């Protein structure tokens, strides 16, 4: 079956990974648009990882890892003195 025919069958809202989770309300769905709040849904589970990851640069760009200040958004561990 041709790629175009497959896209017509599954619709334009169908995501590459089936299970999607809304970024706003956390509801699960099979489409990239949340049926509960209308927000944007993304993959509920991370993609499989491989050492020969050909799309790593795209994932880093999507998450904003290469931007300045990204490291400041990471959580920090509490020091042992505070415990």
**pLDDT single digits (tens) 47-83:** 677 788 888 888 888 888 888 888 888 888 887 775 5
- Let me know if residue 55 belongs to a domain: no
Greatest pairwise CA separation for the chain in angstroms? 63
Q: Is it the case that residue 4 has pLDDT exceeding 60?
A: no
- Let me know if residue 30 belongs to a domain: yes
Please state whether the predicted TM-score (pTM) of the whole model is above 0.75: no
Q: How many domains does the chain have?
A: 1
Report pLDDT for 9.
Answer: 55
Structural domain span for residue 20: 1-45
- Let me know if residue 37 belongs to a domain: yes
> 3-state DSSP call for residue 42?
strand
Report pLDDT for 73.
Answer: 86
Report pLDDT for 11.
Answer: 52
- Let me know if residue 35 belongs to a domain: yes
| Radius of gyration of the chain measured on its C-alpha atoms | 18
Distance CA 82, CA 66 (A): 32
């Amino acid at each position: 079956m041709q790629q175009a025919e497959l896209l017509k069958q599954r619709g334009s809202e169908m995501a590459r990974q089936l299970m999607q989770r809304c970024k706003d309300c956390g509801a699960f769905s099979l489409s990239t648009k949340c049926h509960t709040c209308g927000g944007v849904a993304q993959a509920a589970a991370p993609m499989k990882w491989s050492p020969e990851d050909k799309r790593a640069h795209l994932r880093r760009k999507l998450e904003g890892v290469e931007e300045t200040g990204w490291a400041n958004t990471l959580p920090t561990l509490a020091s042992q003195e505070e415990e």
